[in-house]
């Protein structure tokens, strides 16, 4: 009987054991990038989040996030994938698993920080703040970019004003939804990301493509990037002579693809795009333009 009780306790402990790699559910490192598609009640689009640097406050390191693109509109406000305005740094408390903003407010965790989520919650846990109660809905494995990863869905289950975020281990925030007043909603889904220099999914939104001329060129052409050498941003010009799928890809010296800059069908014309290499180390890189039977590759140098 004692053996059975001990085994039962051991199995129950394993079931609800906390993940020791909790900070990996939101990898905070300067240069990491996430690209999201969103669908709102009245609009759709894409945004990019980039960790641009750090700031120290009250002996804690916070990571600053910048947002590119027009965020989803919900009721009378716009929201990022974190469903709040990105005007302050963010950090994870490794002991509690709490995600905290570098700002005081009405929903404060203490005098200096505001609470967002707790990554250590299990489906039986609740975390109470001065404003609301947040909970963990599930800890299911999900297929993220072709790999089964541990995830946590946490959020605020209030019928008239709900919000949920799903975090995947090793990737970060992969999904978020907000139900606003007047029946409006915002749903963000991760499209691609760059984590510690490794590319996942579709990151072609990172730069965007600008058409600078509609005059039809007589041939395909890939121009030399400028500036070259560069740090950390460089520009690419190219000409498309026929309508079709265009791919512009960056490779390292080993031939490994590190960034897909363009992957879409383009009309004939002259175009320009850019690459922000903040997340990559110094070195020699190659970029290749492909369209139909046309292929051309050029070399560039990143110096930091």
Instruction: Report pLDDT digits (tens) over 250-277.
Output: 999 999 888 888 877 788 999 999 888 8
Instruction: Name residue, tokens 């408390």.
Output: 93
Query: Region 116-132: what's the mean pLDDT?
Result: 67
Query: In sequence order, what are the beta bridge partners of 192?
Result: 35, 201
Q: Is pLDDT of 295 > 50?
A: yes
Q: What is the torsional sign of CA 70, 72, 75, 79?
A: negative
pLDDT tens-digit series, residues 155-198: 776 656 678 899 999 999 999 988 776 667 889 999 988 898 78
- % of the chain beyond a pLDDT of 70: 80
Give CA torsion, residues 126, 186, 173, 51, to 10 deg: -120
Quote the CA–CA distance of 82 and 77 in Å, as a whole number: 14
Residue 208 pLDDT more than 70? Answer: no
Give the number of C-alpha atoms closer than 13 A to the C-alpha of residue 295, restricted to the C-beta side.
Answer: 3
* The pLDDT value given to residue 189: 95
**Residue 154 tokens, joined:** 């946490």
Q: Which of 186, 193, 156 has the alpha carbon at shortest distance from 26?
A: 193
Sequence-separated (6 or more) residues with CB below 8 Å from residue 51 = 28, 29, 30, 31, 32, 33, 63, 64, 65
- What six digits make up the tokens of 30? 């300067």
Q: What is the mean pLDDT of residues 105-121?
A: 69
Phi/psi at 112 (5° precision):
-115, -15
pLDDT for residue 128 = 58
Distance CA 277, CA 42 (A): 34
Report DSSP state, residue 299. E
Comparing 187 with 213, which gets the higher pLDDT?
187
């Amino acid at each position: 009987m004692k053996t059975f009780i001990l085994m039962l306790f051991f199995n129950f402990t394993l079931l609800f054991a906390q993940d020791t790699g909790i900070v990996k559910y939101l990898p905070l490192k300067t240069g990491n990038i996430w690209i999201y598609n969103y669908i709102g009640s009245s609009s759709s689009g894409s945004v990019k989040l980039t960790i641009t640097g750090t700031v120290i406050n009250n002996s804690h390191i916070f990571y600053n996030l910048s947002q590119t693109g027009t965020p989803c509109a919900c009721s009378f406000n716009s929201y990022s994938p974190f469903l709040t305005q990105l005007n302050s740094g963010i950090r994870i408390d490794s002991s509690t698993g709490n995600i905290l903003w570098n700002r005081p407010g009405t929903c404060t965790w203490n005098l200096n920080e505001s609470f967002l989520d707790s990554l250590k919650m299990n489906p039986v846990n609740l975390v109470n703040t001065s404003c609301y109660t947040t909970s963990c809905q599930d800890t299911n494995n999900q297929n993220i970019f072709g790999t089964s990863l541990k995830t946590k869905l946490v959020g605020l289950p209030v019928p008239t004003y709900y919000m949920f975020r799903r975090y995947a281990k090793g990737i970060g925030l992969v999904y978020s939804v907000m139900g606003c007043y007047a029946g409006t909603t915002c749903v963000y889904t991760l499209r691609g990301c760059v984590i510690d220099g490794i590319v996942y999914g579709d990151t072609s939104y990172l730069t965007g493509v600008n058409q600078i001329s509609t005059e039809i060129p007589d041939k395909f052409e890939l121009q030399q990037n400028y500036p070259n050498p560069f740090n950390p941003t460089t520009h690419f010009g190219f000409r498309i002579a026929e309508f079709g799928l265009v791919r512009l890809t960056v490779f390292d010296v080993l031939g490994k693809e590190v960034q897909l800059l363009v992957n879409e069908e383009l009309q004939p014309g002259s175009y320009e795009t850019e690459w922000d290499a903040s997340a990559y180390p110094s070195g020699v890189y190659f970029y290749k333009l492909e369209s139909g039977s046309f292929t051309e590759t050029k070399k560039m140098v990143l110096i930091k």
